Chains A and B, each alone.
Chain A
Amino acid sequence: MYILEQLVNGLCQGSIYALMAIGYAVIYGVVGLVTFTYGEIIMMGSFSAFYYFIAFGDNLLFALVAGFITAALVGVIVHKVCYQRFLDAPRYISLICTIGMSMFLKNFATLVFGSEMKGMPTFFEGKFISLAGIRINYLQLMIMGIVILFSVGLTVFLKKTRIGMKLRAVSQDKKAAALVGINVKNTTLLGNCIGCGLGGVAGILLGVYYNSVLPTMGGMAGLKAFSAMVLGGLGSITGAAVGGVVIGVTENLGIAFASSGLRDVFAFALLVVVLIVRPQGLFGKKGN
């Protein structure tokens, strides 16, 4: 039973990782570059929700929407500072700039929000349902539900709308996209904002699940998002989602069999093993 409960914990935590990784994959797709600021975007989303809860009461729906928008707006700043100005410069300049931006945001948060850990409101007061003897929290169900909602929403948006088609086109081939009349600059900005928004939502879920927000929470979160995306296959959205869940489950089952201090070791060990066997990731195409 303990193992099954750990599995449920893993699925829930994995779903948060999945949403983080999906956002990362969207950004990686349109920008064509990894970013080191993503963890801080997650952190900013989480902090924004902390203050929205204080200002407007414990309304999760409102916090999710407002947190998405806040993180997307931080995404606009990242885009203006790190990408737009260096479009014609070598790519590593943007990359280094995202490292600087990451440090800036972390320090900004420490200064403005304070370095101590802050608590998030609790939802459902620990209520749970018992399914064949396994305890599943309402909170866990809700988190997984929200992640599924956002993932399905994103997929429909990308597959069925004209803007979604533009985003996919820009992710695949910027030159060809320009040649069919797509405004590549604006579309990249939009994709970056959507990715950041999803990261912000994931940050809120993370904060609510662990009941804590910290200016330094972005470091590990960004690393997990990146690992999940690489595990799934660079830039593949389905891959990112699966990668996130796999990492979450591995971590929690790892805890069940060994010590909880080794949580992060399992995830990264898994990543290394998968990349040795399948360098393109679970869902990546060869040569990408």
Chain B
Amino acid sequence: MLKIENLVVNYGYISALRGVSMEIKENEIISLIGGNGAGKTTTLMAISNLVKKAEGSIVFNGINITKMEANKIVDLGIAHVPEGRNIFKQLSVEENLIIGTISDKKITRSKVNEKCEEMFLLFPRLKERRKKPGGSLSGGEQQMLAIARGLMMKPKLLMLDEPSLGLAPIIIEEIFELLQKVKTDGMTILLIEQNATMALNVADRGYVLQNGEIVLTGTGKELLNNPDVKKAYLGI
């Protein structure tokens, strides 16, 4: 579905990615783990074409999206829930959800409402605050809103940058269950996490990123049992 080859990204003199290659197949959950500054966020930004790539190619469902404009990539069916959430602070919670459907020109009003209600069912806290501005939500609520906005986009590939950040353990568990549920609905998921145990538990496969390079890859189980991973990321 998504094929990344030899991706190189530099920020001035800093090289953030040094030749990353990954592949994501239809209906998989892929976890990308790695320590601070490993280049995880940069990888997603490069896929969404929000940073300049020095080298490499990215192909999505047979279409080369390496140099495509960010909004067109979204139109192809890739939703990116960014690190730091980037919800619209002055739009209401409901508008933040509705805006997830903004590039779907044919969608009807009632369909939009229906999808909003679906999200409110998943995240009841958002329902209580539907008329409040997004900026008035707590950090965890904003995270839920960002995820819900991503789901509103009904993407083929959902990319999440540390969705568990700042959430209570119970809610993290709910979100991971949710990911498995949307997977059964046919979605493909690329998940970035520091929370490696959980991320690898739900993942079909995983990649370990270190200093801008993929150092390990395997099924979720394999990585969970890998001694190096255990030592570096699971704290065992």
Contact = CB atoms under 8 A, between A and B. Distances in A.
Contacts of B91: 165, 168-169, 172
Interface stretch (B3-11, B69-77, B190-198, B212-220): B69-77
Contact of A180 (B89, B90, B149): B149
Interface residues of A, number: 17
Contacts of A80: none
A176 B88 contact: yes
Given A162-B102, A165-B102, A181 B88 contact: no
A176 B80 CA distance: 9
B50 A181 contact: no
Interface string A40-82: 0000000000000000000000000000000000000000000
B100 A176 contact: no
Interface in B62-102: 69-71, 74-75, 79-80, 82, 86-91, 95, 98-100, 102
B210 to A, nearest CB: 26
Interface in B127-155: 149, 153
B61 interface: no
B70 A169 contact: no
Interface centre among A166, A173, A185 (most CB of B within 10 A): A173
Contacts of B71: 178, 181-184
Given A175-B82, A178-B71, A180-B102, A168 B90 contact: yes
A185 B70 CA distance: 11
A179 B103 CA distance: 10
Nearest to A178: B70
Given A169-B88, A181-B71, A175 B103 contact: no
A173 B88 contact: yes
Nearest to A170: B88
Contacts of A168: 88, 90-91
Interface residues of B, number: 24
A168 B88 CA distance: 9
A179 B87 CA distance: 11
A165 B98 CA distance: 10
B53 to A, nearest CB: 14
A169 to B, nearest CB: 6
A178 B75 CA distance: 11
A176 B102 contact: no
Contact of B89 (A162, A172, A183): A172
A183 B48 contact: no
B80 A179 contact: yes
Given A169-B91, A172-B90, A173-B88, A179 B102 contact: no
B42 to A, nearest CB: 14
A150 B79 CA distance: 37
Nearest to A163: B102
B75 A181 contact: yes
Interface centre among B50, B75, B102 (most CB of A within 10 A): B102
B99 A165 contact: yes
Nearest to A179: B80
Given A169-B88, A179-B74, 10 more contacts: A165-B98, A165-B99, A165-B102, A168-B88, A168-B91, A176-B87, A179-B79, A179-B82, A179-B86, A185-B69
7 contacts: A168-B88, A169-B102, A175-B86, A179-B70, A179-B86, A180-B149, A184-B71
